[in-house]
A and B are shown apart, each in its own frame.
Chain A
Amino acid sequence: MAVLVVAEHDNASVKDATNKTVTAALALSSDVDVLVAGLGAGAAAAAAAGIAGVRKVLHAEGAAFDQGVAEAVEGLIVPLMANYDAVLFAATATGKNAAPRVAAALDVSPISEIQEVVNASTFVRPIYAGNALETIETSDAKKVITVRTTAFAAAGTGGSASVEAVTAGAPSAAVTFKGAEIVKSDRPELAGAKRVVSGGRAMGSADEFHNVIEPLADKLGAAVGASRAAVDAGYAPNDYQVGQTGKVVAPELYVAVGISGAIQHLAGMKDSKVIVAINKDADAPIFAIADFGLVADYKSAVPELMGELAKAGL
Protein backbone atom coordinates (compact mmCIF):
# COMPACT_ATOMS: atom_id res chain seq x y z
CA MET A 1 0.00 0.00 0.00
CA ALA A 2 1.08 3.59 -0.56
CA VAL A 3 0.76 6.26 2.12
CA LEU A 4 0.75 10.03 1.78
CA VAL A 5 1.92 12.25 4.65
CA VAL A 6 0.82 15.87 4.61
CA ALA A 7 3.78 17.95 5.82
CA GLU A 8 3.62 20.63 8.49
CA HIS A 9 6.15 23.26 7.53
CA ASP A 10 6.91 26.98 7.39
CA ASN A 11 8.00 26.94 3.71
CA ALA A 12 11.67 27.11 4.76
CA SER A 13 11.82 23.91 6.79
CA VAL A 14 9.62 21.02 7.87
CA LYS A 15 8.34 20.93 11.42
CA ASP A 16 9.18 18.10 13.78
CA ALA A 17 5.51 17.04 13.59
CA THR A 18 6.14 15.96 9.99
CA ASN A 19 9.01 13.64 10.96
CA LYS A 20 6.81 12.12 13.66
CA THR A 21 3.92 11.61 11.25
CA VAL A 22 6.34 9.91 8.83
CA THR A 23 7.22 7.45 11.61
CA ALA A 24 3.52 6.62 12.05
CA ALA A 25 3.14 6.26 8.26
CA LEU A 26 6.13 3.88 8.04
CA ALA A 27 4.29 1.62 10.51
CA LEU A 28 1.55 1.25 7.86
CA SER A 29 3.73 0.78 4.81
CA SER A 30 7.25 1.27 3.50
CA ASP A 31 5.91 3.29 0.55
CA VAL A 32 5.60 6.72 2.13
CA ASP A 33 5.40 9.94 0.12
CA VAL A 34 5.25 13.43 1.64
CA LEU A 35 3.13 16.29 0.31
CA VAL A 36 4.55 19.77 0.85
CA ALA A 37 1.90 22.35 -0.06
CA GLY A 38 2.90 25.95 0.56
CA LEU A 39 4.06 29.22 -0.93
CA GLY A 40 7.71 29.40 -1.92
CA ALA A 41 8.10 26.06 -0.18
CA GLY A 42 10.97 24.68 -2.26
CA ALA A 43 13.29 24.60 0.76
CA ALA A 44 10.69 22.75 2.84
CA ALA A 45 10.20 20.24 0.01
CA ALA A 46 13.96 19.67 -0.13
CA ALA A 47 14.01 19.19 3.65
CA ALA A 48 11.15 16.68 3.42
CA ALA A 49 13.10 14.77 0.76
CA GLY A 50 15.84 14.33 3.36
CA ILE A 51 13.62 12.59 5.91
CA ALA A 52 14.74 8.97 6.27
CA GLY A 53 12.33 6.47 4.76
CA VAL A 54 10.52 8.87 2.43
CA ARG A 55 10.05 7.54 -1.12
CA LYS A 56 9.03 10.72 -2.92
CA VAL A 57 8.03 14.32 -2.15
CA LEU A 58 5.11 15.99 -3.89
CA HIS A 59 5.44 19.78 -3.95
CA ALA A 60 2.43 22.05 -4.60
CA GLU A 61 2.47 25.86 -4.64
CA GLY A 62 -0.40 28.20 -3.76
CA ALA A 63 -1.15 31.10 -1.39
CA ALA A 64 -4.13 29.26 0.12
CA PHE A 65 -1.82 26.41 1.19
CA ASP A 66 0.40 28.87 3.02
CA GLN A 67 -2.59 29.82 5.16
CA GLY A 68 -3.75 26.25 5.65
CA VAL A 69 -7.17 26.87 4.07
CA ALA A 70 -8.97 23.52 4.39
CA GLU A 71 -10.98 23.90 1.18
CA ALA A 72 -7.76 24.29 -0.84
CA VAL A 73 -6.10 21.35 0.91
CA GLU A 74 -9.17 19.19 0.19
CA GLY A 75 -9.10 20.19 -3.48
CA LEU A 76 -5.42 19.29 -3.74
CA ILE A 77 -5.43 15.98 -1.87
CA VAL A 78 -8.66 14.32 -3.01
CA PRO A 79 -7.49 13.76 -6.63
CA LEU A 80 -4.05 12.61 -5.38
CA MET A 81 -5.76 9.90 -3.32
CA ALA A 82 -6.32 7.91 -6.54
CA ASN A 83 -2.70 6.82 -6.01
CA TYR A 84 -2.76 6.26 -2.23
CA ASP A 85 -4.41 3.93 0.27
CA ALA A 86 -3.99 6.24 3.25
CA VAL A 87 -3.29 9.87 4.04
CA LEU A 88 -1.83 10.98 7.38
CA PHE A 89 -1.90 14.46 8.87
CA ALA A 90 -0.28 15.60 12.11
CA ALA A 91 -3.07 16.33 14.63
CA THR A 92 -2.26 20.05 14.73
CA ALA A 93 -4.76 22.88 14.24
CA THR A 94 -4.04 22.74 10.49
CA GLY A 95 -4.25 18.96 10.22
CA LYS A 96 -7.42 18.69 12.28
CA ASN A 97 -9.02 21.42 10.19
CA ALA A 98 -8.38 19.72 6.85
CA ALA A 99 -8.33 15.94 7.44
CA PRO A 100 -12.08 15.41 8.07
CA ARG A 101 -12.87 17.47 4.97
CA VAL A 102 -10.74 15.14 2.87
CA ALA A 103 -12.36 12.11 4.54
CA ALA A 104 -15.90 13.29 3.81
CA ALA A 105 -15.01 13.99 0.19
CA LEU A 106 -13.71 10.41 -0.09
CA ASP A 107 -16.70 9.00 1.86
CA VAL A 108 -14.55 7.48 4.60
CA SER A 109 -14.67 7.66 8.39
CA PRO A 110 -11.66 9.64 9.58
CA ILE A 111 -9.55 8.26 12.41
CA SER A 112 -8.50 11.07 14.74
CA GLU A 113 -5.35 11.40 16.83
CA ILE A 114 -3.96 7.87 16.63
CA GLN A 115 -1.28 7.14 19.21
CA GLU A 116 -0.40 3.62 18.05
CA VAL A 117 -0.51 1.67 14.79
CA VAL A 118 -1.52 -1.94 15.52
CA ASN A 119 -1.62 -2.87 11.83
CA ALA A 120 -2.49 -1.13 8.58
CA SER A 121 -6.20 -0.98 9.45
CA THR A 122 -6.18 -1.07 13.28
CA PHE A 123 -5.24 1.86 15.48
CA VAL A 124 -5.28 2.96 19.11
CA ARG A 125 -6.61 6.43 19.91
CA PRO A 126 -7.54 8.29 23.08
CA ILE A 127 -11.18 9.05 23.83
CA TYR A 128 -12.71 10.95 26.76
CA ALA A 129 -9.66 13.20 26.86
CA GLY A 130 -7.30 10.28 27.23
CA ASN A 131 -9.18 8.72 30.14
CA ALA A 132 -9.80 5.71 27.90
CA LEU A 133 -8.10 4.24 24.84
CA GLU A 134 -10.03 2.67 22.01
CA THR A 135 -8.64 0.15 19.56
CA ILE A 136 -10.52 0.50 16.30
CA GLU A 137 -10.44 -1.32 12.99
CA THR A 138 -11.53 0.43 9.84
CA SER A 139 -13.25 -1.24 6.90
CA ASP A 140 -12.73 1.76 4.61
CA ALA A 141 -10.57 1.04 1.57
CA LYS A 142 -8.87 4.42 1.93
CA LYS A 143 -7.84 5.74 5.32
CA VAL A 144 -7.74 9.33 6.51
CA ILE A 145 -5.83 9.64 9.77
CA THR A 146 -4.53 12.33 12.09
CA VAL A 147 -1.55 11.49 14.29
CA ARG A 148 -0.95 12.51 17.90
CA THR A 149 2.66 13.42 17.32
CA THR A 150 3.73 13.19 20.97
CA ALA A 151 3.22 9.42 20.70
CA PHE A 152 5.72 8.85 17.87
CA ALA A 153 9.48 9.34 17.62
CA ALA A 154 10.68 11.68 14.87
CA ALA A 155 11.99 10.02 11.71
CA GLY A 156 15.62 10.91 11.17
CA THR A 157 17.34 12.54 8.23
CA GLY A 158 19.71 11.20 5.61
CA GLY A 159 17.10 10.34 2.99
CA SER A 160 17.38 11.41 -0.63
CA ALA A 161 13.88 11.22 -2.09
CA SER A 162 13.02 12.87 -5.37
CA VAL A 163 10.81 15.98 -5.46
CA GLU A 164 7.97 16.12 -7.98
CA ALA A 165 5.83 19.18 -8.65
CA VAL A 166 2.06 18.72 -8.52
CA THR A 167 -0.36 21.31 -9.79
CA ALA A 168 -3.13 22.68 -7.64
CA GLY A 169 -6.60 23.69 -8.81
CA ALA A 170 -8.10 27.15 -8.42
CA PRO A 171 -8.67 28.19 -4.81
CA SER A 172 -12.20 28.36 -3.37
CA ALA A 173 -13.83 31.76 -3.86
CA ALA A 174 -15.98 31.25 -0.75
CA VAL A 175 -13.06 31.68 1.66
CA THR A 176 -10.87 34.76 1.96
CA PHE A 177 -7.84 34.97 4.20
CA LYS A 178 -7.95 38.25 6.12
CA GLY A 179 -4.93 38.01 8.35
CA ALA A 180 -3.12 36.21 11.14
CA GLU A 181 -1.67 37.22 14.47
CA ILE A 182 1.05 34.79 15.33
CA VAL A 183 2.47 35.36 18.78
CA LYS A 184 6.18 36.09 18.43
CA SER A 185 8.14 34.51 21.19
CA ASP A 186 11.69 33.41 21.80
CA ARG A 187 10.33 30.54 23.85
CA PRO A 188 9.85 27.11 22.26
CA GLU A 189 6.44 26.21 20.85
CA LEU A 190 4.26 24.67 23.56
CA ALA A 191 3.16 21.59 21.63
CA GLY A 192 6.68 20.40 20.81
CA ALA A 193 8.71 21.82 23.71
CA LYS A 194 11.15 19.61 25.62
CA ARG A 195 10.34 21.47 28.84
CA VAL A 196 7.11 23.16 29.91
CA VAL A 197 6.36 25.32 32.95
CA SER A 198 2.64 25.81 33.63
CA GLY A 199 0.82 28.02 36.09
CA GLY A 200 -2.61 27.61 37.61
CA ARG A 201 -5.33 29.59 39.30
CA ALA A 202 -3.20 29.99 42.43
CA MET A 203 -1.31 32.75 40.59
CA GLY A 204 -4.24 35.04 41.33
CA SER A 205 -3.54 37.59 38.59
CA ALA A 206 -2.10 38.01 35.11
CA ASP A 207 0.77 40.06 36.58
CA GLU A 208 1.67 37.33 39.04
CA PHE A 209 1.54 34.74 36.23
CA HIS A 210 3.87 36.93 34.16
CA ASN A 211 6.25 37.59 37.07
CA VAL A 212 6.46 34.03 38.43
CA ILE A 213 5.89 31.54 35.61
CA GLU A 214 7.65 33.26 32.73
CA PRO A 215 11.05 33.82 34.45
CA LEU A 216 11.10 30.18 35.61
CA ALA A 217 10.25 29.04 32.07
CA ASP A 218 13.01 31.21 30.64
CA LYS A 219 15.51 29.89 33.16
CA LEU A 220 14.70 26.36 32.02
CA GLY A 221 14.42 27.27 28.32
CA ALA A 222 10.85 26.02 28.59
CA ALA A 223 7.55 26.82 26.91
CA VAL A 224 4.85 28.41 29.07
CA GLY A 225 1.58 26.61 29.72
CA ALA A 226 -1.47 27.22 31.89
CA SER A 227 -4.40 25.35 33.35
CA ARG A 228 -7.87 26.02 32.01
CA ALA A 229 -8.72 27.66 35.35
CA ALA A 230 -5.90 30.17 34.84
CA VAL A 231 -7.02 30.83 31.25
CA ASP A 232 -10.67 31.21 32.27
CA ALA A 233 -9.64 33.67 34.97
CA GLY A 234 -7.76 35.72 32.36
CA TYR A 235 -4.28 35.17 33.83
CA ALA A 236 -2.94 33.61 30.62
CA PRO A 237 -3.95 33.56 26.95
CA ASN A 238 -5.90 30.61 25.57
CA ASP A 239 -3.08 29.29 23.42
CA TYR A 240 -1.17 28.56 26.66
CA GLN A 241 -3.87 26.14 27.73
CA VAL A 242 -2.76 22.57 28.45
CA GLY A 243 -5.53 20.02 28.79
CA GLN A 244 -8.48 18.28 27.25
CA THR A 245 -9.74 21.45 25.60
CA GLY A 246 -6.30 22.91 24.94
CA LYS A 247 -2.98 21.45 23.91
CA VAL A 248 -1.73 17.98 24.67
CA VAL A 249 1.94 17.99 25.58
CA ALA A 250 4.46 15.32 26.47
CA PRO A 251 7.74 17.10 27.26
CA GLU A 252 10.74 15.60 29.04
CA LEU A 253 10.06 17.90 31.98
CA TYR A 254 6.70 19.36 33.01
CA VAL A 255 6.61 21.75 35.97
CA ALA A 256 3.13 22.49 37.33
CA VAL A 257 3.05 25.52 39.62
CA GLY A 258 -0.07 26.22 41.67
CA ILE A 259 -2.10 23.75 39.61
CA SER A 260 -4.43 21.47 41.57
CA GLY A 261 -4.69 18.88 38.80
CA ALA A 262 -8.26 18.79 37.49
CA ILE A 263 -8.99 15.78 35.25
CA GLN A 264 -9.13 18.05 32.25
CA HIS A 265 -5.61 19.38 32.88
CA LEU A 266 -4.08 15.98 33.64
CA ALA A 267 -5.42 14.74 30.31
CA GLY A 268 -3.15 17.22 28.56
CA MET A 269 0.15 16.49 30.31
CA LYS A 270 0.12 13.08 31.97
CA ASP A 271 2.34 11.56 29.27
CA SER A 272 5.21 13.90 30.17
CA LYS A 273 8.43 12.05 31.06
CA VAL A 274 9.06 13.78 34.38
CA ILE A 275 6.36 15.76 36.18
CA VAL A 276 7.14 18.23 38.96
CA ALA A 277 4.33 19.70 41.06
CA ILE A 278 4.63 22.70 43.36
CA ASN A 279 1.49 23.29 45.38
CA LYS A 280 0.81 24.29 48.97
CA ASP A 281 -2.12 21.87 49.24
CA ALA A 282 -0.60 18.46 50.07
CA ASP A 283 -3.84 16.77 48.98
CA ALA A 284 -3.95 18.29 45.48
CA PRO A 285 -4.61 15.57 42.84
CA ILE A 286 -1.58 16.71 40.84
CA PHE A 287 0.68 15.02 43.44
CA ALA A 288 -0.80 11.61 42.59
CA ILE A 289 0.83 11.72 39.15
CA ALA A 290 3.88 13.88 39.91
CA ASP A 291 7.29 12.24 39.99
CA PHE A 292 8.55 14.95 42.32
CA GLY A 293 6.15 16.90 44.50
CA LEU A 294 7.09 19.94 46.54
CA VAL A 295 4.44 20.91 49.08
CA ALA A 296 5.10 24.62 49.41
CA ASP A 297 3.71 28.03 48.61
CA TYR A 298 4.91 28.87 45.11
CA LYS A 299 5.68 32.41 46.33
CA SER A 300 8.67 31.13 48.25
CA ALA A 301 9.31 27.88 46.35
CA VAL A 302 9.74 29.37 42.87
CA PRO A 303 12.37 31.95 43.90
CA GLU A 304 14.22 29.21 45.80
CA LEU A 305 14.05 26.96 42.76
CA MET A 306 15.37 29.80 40.58
CA GLY A 307 18.29 30.17 42.99
CA GLU A 308 19.05 26.44 42.98
CA LEU A 309 18.87 26.30 39.19
CA ALA A 310 21.31 29.22 39.01
CA LYS A 311 23.67 27.33 41.34
CA ALA A 312 23.35 24.33 39.04
CA GLY A 313 24.57 26.50 36.19
CA LEU A 314 21.28 27.32 34.50
Chain B
Amino acid sequence: MKVLVPVKRVIDYNVKVRVKPDQTGVDLANVKMSMNPFCEIAVEEAVRLKEKGVVSEIVAVSIGPQQAQETIRTALAMGADRGILIQTDDDLEPLAVAKLLKAVVAEEAPELVLMGKQAIDGDNNATGQMMAALLGWPQATFASKVEIADGKATVTREIDGGLQTLEVALPAIVTADLRLNEPRYASLPNIMKAKKKPIDVKSTGDYGVDVSPRLKVLKVTEPPKRAGGIKVESAEQLVGKLKEAGVL
Protein backbone atom coordinates (compact mmCIF):
# COMPACT_ATOMS: atom_id res chain seq x y z
CA MET B 1 0.00 0.00 0.00
CA LYS B 2 0.99 3.57 -0.61
CA VAL B 3 1.62 6.09 2.17
CA LEU B 4 1.70 9.84 1.79
CA VAL B 5 3.86 11.73 4.29
CA PRO B 6 3.56 15.54 4.35
CA VAL B 7 6.75 17.20 5.69
CA LYS B 8 7.37 20.82 6.66
CA ARG B 9 10.53 22.89 6.65
CA VAL B 10 10.71 24.88 9.88
CA ILE B 11 13.24 26.70 12.02
CA ASP B 12 15.45 24.10 13.72
CA TYR B 13 14.07 23.28 17.14
CA ASN B 14 17.38 24.07 18.86
CA VAL B 15 17.48 27.61 17.49
CA LYS B 16 16.52 30.48 19.77
CA VAL B 17 13.68 32.31 18.03
CA ARG B 18 14.03 36.08 17.67
CA VAL B 19 11.14 38.42 16.99
CA LYS B 20 11.84 41.09 14.36
CA PRO B 21 11.99 44.63 15.79
CA ASP B 22 9.29 45.80 13.34
CA GLN B 23 6.90 43.15 14.79
CA THR B 24 6.15 41.61 11.37
CA GLY B 25 7.28 38.13 12.32
CA VAL B 26 10.27 36.15 13.53
CA ASP B 27 13.70 36.48 12.00
CA LEU B 28 14.33 33.57 9.63
CA ALA B 29 17.35 35.09 7.81
CA ASN B 30 20.51 32.99 8.19
CA VAL B 31 18.79 30.69 10.66
CA LYS B 32 19.23 26.91 10.54
CA MET B 33 16.14 25.24 9.08
CA SER B 34 15.26 21.56 9.47
CA MET B 35 12.43 19.13 9.02
CA ASN B 36 9.73 19.65 11.66
CA PRO B 37 10.50 17.04 14.39
CA PHE B 38 6.98 15.56 14.32
CA CYS B 39 7.19 15.17 10.51
CA GLU B 40 10.47 13.31 11.03
CA ILE B 41 8.68 10.87 13.34
CA ALA B 42 5.99 10.37 10.69
CA VAL B 43 8.61 9.64 8.01
CA GLU B 44 10.34 7.18 10.34
CA GLU B 45 7.07 5.36 11.01
CA ALA B 46 6.34 5.09 7.28
CA VAL B 47 9.84 3.70 6.66
CA ARG B 48 9.40 1.14 9.46
CA LEU B 49 6.08 0.06 7.94
CA LYS B 50 7.86 -0.35 4.62
CA GLU B 51 10.62 -2.39 6.24
CA LYS B 52 7.93 -4.64 7.74
CA GLY B 53 6.49 -5.16 4.27
CA VAL B 54 3.20 -3.43 5.09
CA VAL B 55 3.92 -0.42 2.89
CA SER B 56 5.13 -0.57 -0.71
CA GLU B 57 5.70 3.09 -1.54
CA ILE B 58 6.30 6.27 0.48
CA VAL B 59 5.63 9.63 -1.13
CA ALA B 60 6.92 12.68 0.75
CA VAL B 61 5.15 15.95 -0.03
CA SER B 62 6.13 19.42 1.11
CA ILE B 63 4.52 22.82 0.58
CA GLY B 64 6.98 25.67 0.84
CA PRO B 65 9.82 27.58 -0.77
CA GLN B 66 12.34 26.09 -3.18
CA GLN B 67 14.57 25.16 -0.22
CA ALA B 68 11.87 22.79 1.01
CA GLN B 69 13.41 20.41 -1.54
CA GLU B 70 16.12 19.86 1.09
CA THR B 71 13.45 18.77 3.55
CA ILE B 72 12.08 16.31 0.99
CA ARG B 73 15.65 15.07 0.36
CA THR B 74 15.95 14.38 4.09
CA ALA B 75 12.80 12.26 3.91
CA LEU B 76 14.16 10.48 0.81
CA ALA B 77 17.44 9.79 2.62
CA MET B 78 15.50 8.28 5.53
CA GLY B 79 13.75 5.92 3.12
CA ALA B 80 10.91 7.67 1.26
CA ASP B 81 10.72 6.73 -2.43
CA ARG B 82 9.87 9.98 -4.18
CA GLY B 83 8.89 13.54 -3.45
CA ILE B 84 6.44 16.24 -4.45
CA LEU B 85 7.16 19.91 -3.77
CA ILE B 86 4.31 22.35 -4.09
CA GLN B 87 6.43 25.45 -4.35
CA THR B 88 5.20 28.70 -2.82
CA ASP B 89 6.78 31.56 -0.93
CA ASP B 90 3.51 32.29 0.86
CA ASP B 91 3.07 31.14 4.44
CA LEU B 92 -0.11 29.12 3.95
CA GLU B 93 -2.68 28.53 6.70
CA PRO B 94 -3.56 24.97 7.72
CA LEU B 95 -6.88 25.26 5.84
CA ALA B 96 -5.07 25.98 2.56
CA VAL B 97 -2.48 23.28 3.25
CA ALA B 98 -5.23 20.75 3.98
CA LYS B 99 -6.98 21.65 0.71
CA LEU B 100 -3.75 21.24 -1.29
CA LEU B 101 -2.97 17.93 0.40
CA LYS B 102 -6.51 16.75 -0.30
CA ALA B 103 -5.82 17.45 -4.00
CA VAL B 104 -2.55 15.49 -3.77
CA VAL B 105 -4.45 12.60 -2.18
CA ALA B 106 -6.90 12.67 -5.09
CA GLU B 107 -3.98 12.25 -7.53
CA GLU B 108 -1.90 9.79 -5.55
CA ALA B 109 -4.66 7.70 -3.93
CA PRO B 110 -2.70 6.65 -0.83
CA GLU B 111 -4.37 4.36 1.70
CA LEU B 112 -2.72 6.12 4.61
CA VAL B 113 -1.51 9.62 5.31
CA LEU B 114 1.06 9.71 8.13
CA MET B 115 2.00 13.18 9.34
CA GLY B 116 3.24 15.11 12.35
CA LYS B 117 0.67 16.26 14.91
CA GLN B 118 1.87 19.84 14.65
CA ALA B 119 4.59 22.03 13.20
CA ILE B 120 6.76 23.79 15.76
CA ASP B 121 6.54 27.18 14.02
CA GLY B 122 2.82 27.98 13.90
CA ASP B 123 1.96 25.40 16.61
CA ASN B 124 -1.53 25.04 15.14
CA ASN B 125 -1.99 21.28 15.49
CA ALA B 126 -4.70 21.40 12.82
CA THR B 127 -3.70 20.25 9.34
CA GLY B 128 -4.16 16.49 9.82
CA GLN B 129 -7.58 16.83 11.40
CA MET B 130 -8.68 19.30 8.70
CA MET B 131 -7.49 17.05 5.90
CA ALA B 132 -9.42 14.17 7.44
CA ALA B 133 -12.60 16.25 7.56
CA LEU B 134 -12.20 17.50 3.97
CA LEU B 135 -11.64 13.94 2.72
CA GLY B 136 -14.36 12.50 4.97
CA TRP B 137 -11.75 10.08 6.33
CA PRO B 138 -11.38 8.86 9.90
CA GLN B 139 -8.50 10.27 11.93
CA ALA B 140 -6.26 9.00 14.69
CA THR B 141 -4.26 11.91 16.07
CA PHE B 142 -1.36 12.03 18.59
CA ALA B 143 -0.34 8.43 17.83
CA SER B 144 2.18 6.63 20.02
CA LYS B 145 1.69 3.21 18.37
CA VAL B 146 0.42 2.23 14.92
CA GLU B 147 -0.44 -1.27 13.69
CA ILE B 148 -1.79 -1.92 10.20
CA ALA B 149 -3.71 -5.10 9.33
CA ASP B 150 -6.76 -6.15 7.30
CA GLY B 151 -7.47 -2.70 5.90
CA LYS B 152 -7.47 -1.12 9.33
CA ALA B 153 -5.08 0.87 11.47
CA THR B 154 -5.09 0.24 15.22
CA VAL B 155 -3.69 3.35 16.80
CA THR B 156 -2.78 4.06 20.41
CA ARG B 157 -3.24 7.76 21.09
CA GLU B 158 -1.80 10.09 23.72
CA ILE B 159 -4.73 11.71 25.51
CA ASP B 160 -4.93 13.73 28.72
CA GLY B 161 -4.28 11.38 31.60
CA GLY B 162 -3.32 8.31 29.59
CA LEU B 163 -3.79 6.43 26.36
CA GLN B 164 -6.70 5.60 24.08
CA THR B 165 -6.83 2.97 21.36
CA LEU B 166 -8.90 3.51 18.22
CA GLU B 167 -9.35 1.29 15.20
CA VAL B 168 -9.82 3.28 12.00
CA ALA B 169 -10.78 1.90 8.61
CA LEU B 170 -8.31 2.77 5.83
CA PRO B 171 -7.93 5.13 4.11
CA ALA B 172 -7.23 7.26 7.17
CA ILE B 173 -5.10 10.06 8.57
CA VAL B 174 -2.71 9.31 11.43
CA THR B 175 -0.78 12.10 13.15
CA ALA B 176 2.40 11.30 15.06
CA ASP B 177 3.18 12.22 18.65
CA LEU B 178 6.62 12.26 20.22
CA ARG B 179 6.68 8.72 21.60
CA LEU B 180 5.78 6.95 18.35
CA ASN B 181 9.43 6.26 17.53
CA GLU B 182 12.90 7.71 17.52
CA PRO B 183 13.79 8.81 13.98
CA ARG B 184 16.96 7.43 12.43
CA TYR B 185 19.87 9.44 11.13
CA ALA B 186 20.23 8.96 7.39
CA SER B 187 23.42 7.12 6.46
CA LEU B 188 25.84 8.64 3.97
CA PRO B 189 25.10 6.02 1.26
CA ASN B 190 21.37 6.69 1.71
CA ILE B 191 21.94 10.46 1.48
CA MET B 192 23.78 9.84 -1.83
CA LYS B 193 20.99 7.57 -3.07
CA ALA B 194 18.38 10.16 -2.13
CA LYS B 195 19.94 12.62 -4.57
CA LYS B 196 18.85 10.36 -7.43
CA LYS B 197 15.28 9.92 -6.23
CA PRO B 198 12.72 12.00 -8.16
CA ILE B 199 11.06 15.17 -6.84
CA ASP B 200 8.11 16.58 -8.80
CA VAL B 201 7.92 20.35 -8.52
CA LYS B 202 4.43 21.84 -8.71
CA SER B 203 2.84 25.18 -7.92
CA THR B 204 -0.23 25.89 -5.82
CA GLY B 205 -2.01 26.94 -9.03
CA ASP B 206 -1.68 23.38 -10.41
CA TYR B 207 -4.32 22.15 -8.00
CA GLY B 208 -7.12 24.67 -8.58
CA VAL B 209 -7.55 25.23 -4.86
CA ASP B 210 -8.39 28.47 -3.06
CA VAL B 211 -5.41 29.16 -0.80
CA SER B 212 -6.22 32.78 0.05
CA PRO B 213 -5.60 33.67 3.70
CA ARG B 214 -8.43 34.05 6.20
CA LEU B 215 -6.22 35.32 8.98
CA LYS B 216 -4.27 38.56 9.05
CA VAL B 217 -1.24 38.80 11.32
CA LEU B 218 -1.48 42.25 12.90
CA LYS B 219 1.76 41.90 14.84
CA VAL B 220 4.23 39.46 16.30
CA THR B 221 5.71 40.38 19.68
CA GLU B 222 8.02 38.96 22.28
CA PRO B 223 6.34 37.44 25.30
CA PRO B 224 6.71 39.46 28.49
CA LYS B 225 10.07 38.72 30.09
CA ARG B 226 10.13 37.10 33.50
CA ALA B 227 12.05 39.14 35.97
CA GLY B 228 14.99 37.20 37.34
CA GLY B 229 14.67 36.10 40.94
CA ILE B 230 17.07 35.47 43.75
CA LYS B 231 19.32 32.65 44.89
CA VAL B 232 18.61 31.15 48.27
CA GLU B 233 21.28 29.54 50.42
CA SER B 234 19.38 26.69 52.01
CA ALA B 235 16.19 24.65 52.00
CA GLU B 236 15.19 26.46 55.18
CA GLN B 237 15.48 29.86 53.51
CA LEU B 238 13.61 28.51 50.48
CA VAL B 239 10.64 27.40 52.58
CA GLY B 240 10.63 30.81 54.29
CA LYS B 241 10.53 32.60 50.91
CA LEU B 242 7.75 30.33 49.64
CA LYS B 243 5.70 31.14 52.75
CA GLU B 244 6.27 34.85 52.20
CA ALA B 245 5.15 34.43 48.59
CA GLY B 246 1.98 32.75 49.83
CA VAL B 247 2.33 29.56 47.82
CA LEU B 248 2.66 27.12 50.71
Assuming the contacts A134-B220, A288-B228, A304-B235, asked whether A273 and B247 have C-beta atoms less than 8 A apart, the reply is yes
Contact with A along B204-238 (1 / 0, CB 8 A): 00000000011111111111001011111111101
A100 touches B166 (CB 8 A): no
Report the minimum CB–CB distance from A237 to chain B (whole Å): 9
Look across to chain B and name the residue whose beta carbon is closest to the beta carbon of A305. B235
Least Cβ distance of B199 to chain A in Å? 28
What B residues does A273 contact at CB under 8 A? 247
Q: Is B64 an interface residue (CB 8 A)?
A: no
Q: B129 on the interface (CB 8 Å rule)?
A: yes
- Nearest residue (CB) in B for A71 is B138
Which residues in chain A, 45-103, are within 8 Å of chain B measured between CB atoms?
67-71, 74, 92-94, 96-103
A124 to chain B, nearest CB (A): 9
Partner of B166, one of A122, A178, A305: A178
Which residue of the partner chain, among B158, B168, B230, contacts A174 with CB atoms under 8 Å? B168
Residues of A within 8 A of B122 (CB): 127
Specify which chain A residues have a CB less than 8 angstroms from the CB of B11 in the assembled complex. Answer: 128
Q: Which of B154, B158, B226 has the most CB of A within 10 A?
A: B226
A112: B residues at CB distance < 8 A: 123-126
Contact flags A177-212 to B (C-beta < 8 A → 1, else 0):
111111100000101000100000000000000000
Q: Which of A109, A130, A309 contacts B239 (CB 8 A)?
A: A309
A130 near B129: Cβ-Cβ < 8 Å: no
Q: Is B179 an interface residue (CB 8 A)?
A: yes
Q: Report whether A105 and B133 are in contact in the complex, using a CB–CB cutoff of 8 Å.
A: yes
- Nearest Cβ on chain A to B212's Cβ, whole angstroms: 10
| B158: A residues at CB distance < 8 A | 93, 238-239
Report B160-175 residues with CB < 8 Å from chain A CB: 160-169, 172
Query: Does the CB pair A101–B231 fall under 8 Å?
Result: no
In the complex, A138 has a CB within 8 A of chain B? yes
In the complex, chain B residues whose CB is within 8 Å of the CB of A132: 17, 19, 26, 220-223
Evaluate whether A104 and B133 lie within 8 angstroms (CB atoms) in the complex, with A132-B222, A133-B223, A293-B231 already known.
Answer: yes
Which residues of chain A are near B221, meaning CB under 8 Å?
132-133, 135
Q: Is the interface of B mostly helix, strand, loop or mixed?
A: mixed
Q: Is the CB of A100 within 8 A of B130?
A: yes
A120 interface residue (CB < 8 Å to B): no
Q: How far is the CB of A171 from chain B (nearest CB, A)?
A: 11
Cβ contact within 8 Å between B245 and A291 = yes
B230 touches A292 (CB 8 A): yes
Most buried by B among A69, A136, A140, A172: A136
Contacts of B166 in A (CB 8 A): 69, 175-178
A71-B138, A178-B165 known; A97+B214 contact, CB < 8 A: no
Extra 9 A-B pairs, beta carbons < 8 Å, given A137-B216, A294-B235: A96-B125, A100-B126, A112-B123, A134-B220, A238-B158, A270-B223, A292-B232, A304-B234, A308-B235
List of 9 A-B pairs having minimum Cβ-Cβ separation, nearest first: A291-B229, A104-B130, A100-B129, A100-B126, A104-B133, A304-B235, A109-B214, A182-B162, A174-B138
**Residues of A near any B CB (own CB < 8 A):** 67-71, 74, 92-94, 96-105, 107-113, 122, 126-140, 172-183, 189, 191, 195, 228, 231, 238-239, 241, 244-246, 252-253, 263-264, 270, 273-276, 287-295, 301, 304-305, 307-309, 311-312, 314
